Structure 1
Amino acid sequence: MPLHIHTPLIESRPLSRTAGRPVWLKLEALQPCGSFKLRGVGHACEIHQGRGARHFVSSSGGNAGLAVAYAGRKLGLPVTVVVPETTTERAKELLRQEDASVVVHGSSWQEANAHAQTLLGPNDAFIHPFDDPLLWAGHASMIDEVAAAGVKPDAVVLSVGGGGLLSGVVEGLQRNGWHDVPVLAVETEGAASLHAAIEAGHTVELPGIQSVATSLGAKRVAEQALACCRTHTVHSHLVSDREALDACERLLLDQRLLVEPACGAALALLQHPEVLAPYANVLVIVCGGATATLEQIRAWREQLA
């Protein structure tokens, strides 16, 4: 049995009315650890355990780290997660709830990631947050579930951080023969590493992340994400932090589900009817996010105001 669950696929009446067309939601926020990350991370952890790994190491204070911690606990293997100093106390507490050992190092994910590499022993497996073919294969299973439900969208809307979700969804679309279904890839304006890569024609490193959507905060998108833009129709879109935060509150009101601003970025695109005009019905990946609270979302909104 896989470590992830088969998540609900629902048609949202409130969001459909807002968008002026049927809007389907793939509710990945309902995964046991709070985000889609468990699909790819769980798959990777099971593969590495089968190859002899006896300890998992990760470098993420967010959803990927939580997924590794959950997977390790379910598989009976210890987990060490290296997080940067900017990681919230809530995120660290959630990691410890899953029995992970938490190491705080560096001022950024890049520094935490470099330190994590030094901790690897001969029986350890490193689980990358977004850049690994095992992750993409696992994430693709959400599209398998949509296809099995008999729902073929005219477009898929998703958020992009490091590009793992995009890479997995494109893999899922292609292996189900949905080469004609475009992906609308959404980033916040201060964390747009995919948008920058598309404009440059190659991956580039952003000078910094200027967004409250910290889960989108990869300074450089994965090479595979840019490659997907060459082998599949992918349209890049940007939204503001305020739009992403507003979308989080709307989803809570409409569907009684709280997600973080990184997920709100994709949902915010539903407020742009001119973007959705070519598509009769739309699938949104509600990727989730376990570390945001309603109080935090409202505090961010006040800061932006």
Structure 2
Amino acid sequence: MTLHINTPLIESLSVGRGLSAKVWLKMEALQPCGSFKARGVGYACEQYIKEGAKALVSSSGGNAGLAVAYSGRCLGVPVTVVVPKTTKPRAIELIEQEGAQVIVHGDIWQQAHDHAMTLTNAEAAYIHPFDDPYLWHGHASIVDEIAAQGVTPDAIVLSVGGGGLLSGVIAGLKRHGWQEVPVIAVETEGAASLAASATAGKHVAIDAITSVATSLGATIVAERAFELLSEQPVVNHVVTDLEAVNSCRRFLADHRLLVEPACGASLAAVYGECAALQDKQNIVVIVCGGVGASVEQLQAWGEQLSDNG
């Protein structure tokens, strides 16, 4: 038994309807903890427990921490999640609801991560939000399911934060002999660390995260994610916060599913019919989900960003 579920792959007649391609939605927002993190995090938690861990430690402002808390509850081990001060009360509530202890520490994720590392030991394993081969192995199962569901994509669109999902999806593509399938790696302005590395031609960090898509808030991507830029066709695409938020609101109207701006970023690339998708026939969008938004919050962000624009 796995901790994640097999998610539907549905054709959308609304998202990217101006494109000539069929657009398929891989509905990771339906995972038990609300995001694709259930796959990689769940697999990593299982592996570390098999290796002797008696407890789990994580650092996250939202989805990864919730996935560790969910996994720990399912596996019957205690979980501690360290979150930065910017974490929304609702995210903390959801993590605690899974039975995990929450520690608030630091102004940014990196500070929460550093503190979490001091809590680890031989029996308390650290579950990194994005930089761990176990995570990538778990996330690769998305591609296994797409293949089993009978769709051969000629483009996959996904959002990039620290690069865990990107690393996992490309591992899955390689496993199925789909090395030529381009991955449209979407970020928001103010959180575009992969695009910064691609532009620089080396693994670099950005100075700060200024995007409302805080789930994409890694100032530097995993080194493996950067390496993959030279191993797989990866197209970097950056959207504005307003485009991401408006895509969340549009997706809610089109498909009756609430996702956060980190997920809205990848939807925005398809709603916006980006150039890299113009000649494709079967586009798969990974609807990664996320619990960091409410209808009211999307409305407020939309008004704030429109005013600033």
TM-score calculated relative to the size of structure 1: 0.98
Give the match's secondary structure for 2:29: helix
Give the match's secondary structure for 1:174: helix
The letter for the 2-side match of 1:69 is: A
Residue 298 of structure 1 aligns with which residue? 299
Q: Deviation of residue 189 (structure 1)? A: 1.2
- Distance in 2, Cα, partners of 1:40 & 1:273: 29
Residue 264 of structure 2 aligns with which residue? 264
The alignment covers a number of residue pairs equal to 305
Q: Deviation of residue 202 (structure 1)? A: 1.6
Please list, as runs of the form range in 1=range in 2, the aligned pairs for 1:1-305 lying within 5 A after superposition: 1-270=1-270, 271-305=272-306
The letter for the 1-side match of 2:284 is: L
Q: Deviation of residue 275 (structure 1)? A: 3.0
The letter for the 2-side match of 1:291 is: G
Between the two proteins, what is the percent identity of the paired residues? 62
Task: List runs of 5+ in structure 2 lacking aligned partners.
Answer: none
Return closer, same or farther for 1:147/1:191 CA change in 2, 3 Å cut-off.
same
- Which 4+ stretches in 1 moved above 3 angstroms? none
TM-superposition CA deviations, 1:252-292 (whole Å, max 9, x none): 11111110000000000111253311212200000000121
Give the match's secondary structure for 2:14: helix
- Distance in 2, Cα, partners of 1:134 & 1:278: 34
- Distance in 1, Cα, partners of 2:53 & 2:275: 49
Please say if residues 61 and 81 of structure 1, whose CA atoms lie closer than 8 Å, have aligned partners that are also in contact. no
The letter for the 2-side match of 1:211 is: S
The root-mean-square deviation of aligned C-alpha atoms, in Å, is 0.9
Please say if residues 19 and 273 of structure 1, whose CA atoms lie closer than 8 Å, have aligned partners that are also in contact. no
- Distance in 2, Cα, partners of 1:185 & 1:278: 17
TM-superposition CA deviations, 1:60-117 (whole Å, max 9, x none): 0210000000000000000000000111100100100100100000101000000001
Give the match's secondary structure for 2:157: strand
> Which shifted more, 161-170 or 18-27?
18-27
TM-superposition CA deviations, 1:34-78 (whole Å, max 9, x none): 000010000000011111100000000210000000000000000
Task: List runs of 5+ in structure 1 lacking aligned partners.
Answer: none
Give the match's secondary structure for 1:73: helix
The letter for the 2-side match of 1:129 is: P
Please say if residues 61 and 215 of structure 2, whose CA atoms lie closer than 8 Å, have aligned partners that are also in contact. no
- Distance in 2, Cα, partners of 1:258 & 1:18: 23
The letter for the 2-side match of 1:149 is: Q
